Amino acid sequence: MTKQFPCVACGLCCRNLDETIYADLRLPDGTCMYYDADRKLCSVYDARPLKCRIDDYYAFYLENEMDIEHYYEMNIEACKNMMLLFEDYDSYTKILVKMNQID
Ligand code: SF4
Ligand code: SF4
């Protein structure tokens, strides 16, 4: 299993925020107010909130609840499901490739 989360920077998670958890960041169209659509990047990456930091969130809340591999698997599934939902097959392929490369 991966030892580093295989994010492919598709931006789907930042463009489709949950209405409750991300209510403080979410614009009416579901995009984060800090998402830079031109560069396809978080404009506050170094200062992004804990809920946007996969590894830091795990260390803070979940380290004693589950192992990191299981946590990554859950998040990867969420990424893949979002990619399929929005028909982003290019990113779907990229994340599969990246998963295999960093095992
Ligand atoms: S949906 Fe997953 S792969 Fe895409 S940017 Fe978000 S964390 Fe990265
Ligand atoms: S703060 Fe950055 S990482 Fe978090 S949802 Fe917004 S754009 Fe994405």
Tokens of 68: 């990191």
Query: At a CB cut-off of 8 Å and minimum separation 6, what does 9 contact?
Result: 40, 41
How far does residue 47's CA lie from ligand 2's centre (Å)? 10
Report whether residue 95 contacts ligand 2, using a CB cutoff of 6 Å: no
Average pLDDT across the chain, whole number = 94
Over residues 73-85, mean pLDDT:
97
Over residues 76-84, mean pLDDT:
97
Q: Please report the pLDDT score of residue 102 as a whole number.
A: 59
Length of the chain: 103
**Full-model pTM:** 0.91
Q: How confident is the model at residue 78 (pLDDT cuts 50, 70, 90)?
A: very high
How far does residue 36's CA lie from ligand 2's centre (Å)? 9
Q: Which residues of 41-61 are buried (b: 16+ CB within 10 A; e: fewer)?
A: ebeeeeebeeebeeeeebeee
CA-based R_g, the chain, Å: 14
